[in-house]
Amino acid sequence: MNEEIFIGGWTRTKLRERTQNERHAVWKRAKGLHSAEGNHLARAIELLGLPYAEPEPLGDDDPLMARLREVVSSPAARSAALESTLDGLPAMAGVDGLLHDQIGEEYRQNAAAAPTAQRLVAELMTGLGYVAAGEKDLPARCVARKGVFWKRG
């Protein structure tokens, strides 16, 4: 295989296989390196012609938004968010599994679903009196990759 290998072992093929959110995360990390190698990888992502920008959250009129709201506002989601927080994880870690179970592939494959769900979880947690205390990686089983860690306000 004569494919160019970028910093971190990335190739154009590997980048094409990633989701828009994942490509955005790689692009953002590459730009954050402030190095020639990082800039070279970021430019390669830009030249792929595939979406790599962080997607906008879903609009209020989107049918998926109604389903996300329904799940996130449920007592099960509230309980899962609080349990995750008490376990030292982002609240999203608990809610993400519920969203995947109840909405399925539509949640997993829509690039705007996870950022929208994170916004809804943030509204839930602030409504419960919590304040953001930083960002943490989510477990590998989650659709979302990072989430806000919450603490009592």
Predicted confidence (pLDDT) per residue in 56-85, tens digit = 778 889 999 999 999 999 999 999 999 999
| Backbone torsions φ then ψ of 148, nearest 5 degrees | -80, 135
Q: Which of 53-57, 75-79, 100-104 has the lowest mean pLDDT?
A: 53-57
| Backbone torsions φ then ψ of 91, nearest 5 degrees | -55, -30
pLDDT band at 43 (very low <50, low <70, confident <90, very high): very high
Between the CA of residue 38 and those of 22, 26, 78, what are the distances in Å? 16, 10, 40
pLDDT at 110 over 90: no
The amino acid that residue 13 corresponds to is T
Task: Please state, for a pLDDT cut of 70, what percent of the chain lies above it.
Answer: 99
Give dist(CA 86, CA 105) in Å, integer: 28
Tell me, what's the pLDDT at 1?
60
Region 84-102: what's the mean pLDDT? Answer: 95
pLDDT at 52 over 70: yes
On whether the pTM is more than 0.75, the answer is no
Tell me, what's the pLDDT at 45?
92
Reading the block at residue 28, the tokens are 């953002």
